Structure 1
Amino acid sequence: MLKIDRSELDRAIKNMVAMYADTEKVLADYEEEKQVLVNRENGFKERMLQLQKEHTQVLLDRESSKDNTSDYIKLSKKLTAANDDIQIIVSLQAQLKEDFKELKQKYIPIIRDTYSNDVSAKNEFPVNDTIDYVKYELLNAIADYAKEVRKLQLPIREIVGDEFLGDSQLMQENKSFQRAFEFDSTYLSYVGDLGNYVIAKNHVLSSISGNLHPEVRKPVKDVE
């Protein structure tokens, strides 16, 4: 009977594809700068492996040339040079860690501000106002329907009241008839616990987080 027209909302959802475009651009810029450091890091690692292999080989060669003073001195110089290069790379790797940290520090405020601006677009959906409107329309529709039920019952009630319900002795013998015309007989059927909202707060909280509460289920078939 009562359905929500969510066509505008569905269009808005489709248009959300670019919601975080600016943040994605900033992150892409960060990744591009980071890749430069990553390439440098990989270069240091490769060179370190080469030097370590050379260092090991020179040690072995020098050990086997103890009796040849000239070769021993030459290999010792080569070993010293390899050690110096290793120390330089170790120092550069330490500096590279600082470079990574500085890069992140540089982008933290940029990402934060850009993301905050992007995500603020979510406020274009007025959750409270929408809930209030839907709640009002729902309750108003229920009230209108129930009002019409009572209105149409009134002529019957007048006749039954005059002819039957006013006869107390007769009603003592026909309790079920009397109950059928009690004042709340025109009320619509509703099963709910006292204190519950028409739209439960925890259901709303679940929806605003992007999840449909497990208690909220789509009807097996539409109400006609």
Structure 2
Amino acid sequence: MSRILVVDDEPQMLKALQINLRARHYEVSTASDGRRALQEATHNPPDAVILDLGLPELDGMEVLRSLRSWTSAPVIVLSGRADPREKVAALDAGADDYVTKPFAMNELLARVRAALRRPTSEEPSAAPIRIGDQVVDLERHVVEPAEEGGPSVRLTPTEWRILAVLLQQPGRLVTGSHILRQVWGPGHEENTNYLRVYFAGLRRKLEREPARPRHILTEPGMGYRFEP
């Protein structure tokens, strides 16, 4: 049974999340401020964390940075802060996902399931990955048709580097600035036009319907996500 730590200073929100998570057979612990959240996480390490940012005692961003210093458990930020800069800052600080209040409970629960499915940084996935009608092998740098006789695809070196950053974190929201730093190096974080061009190319090559992608997704104002 997966253990979820829910951190929020609103009693009604804590209760609603606790009821819904327990109904889906998760073990749930709660904290109403940042200091208690870190104490609870230390004494009962969670498999995932749902974290509000506007917390008393210790701000949610400080909690996030502290968690990331010792655990790779996925952290889903659940916050009323809708400014894209706040979202990007949380993702760059190590959050795996960001859901804005008000939210649909089913969507949040789906994000929790996706976060728990992804490999941790200690358990990287090296297996070939299917995207549409292609199978991508990051270790061999090869794209092969999933079915015999299917079309072959060639990726450029830059496309490979971008895809590697994304596919190594399945289900996780990755900021554009992180991808730019990893692929082009520091100082290129503002060159978001690079990503628009390359992601359009990757979708044309790998997605069955590039205009309606199923696997290589854009989260407007935040970044990109690979959905297996």
- Say yes or no: TM over 0.5: no
Query: What range describes the TM-score normalised by the shorter chain of this pair?
Result: under 0.3
Q: TM-score, normalised on structure 2?
A: 0.17
More strand by share: 2
> What TM-score does the superposition give when structure 1 sets the normalisation length?
0.18
Instruction: Identify, as 1 or 2, the structure richer in helix.
Output: 1
The structure showing larger relative contact order (alpha-carbon pairs under 8 Å, at least 6 residues apart) is 1
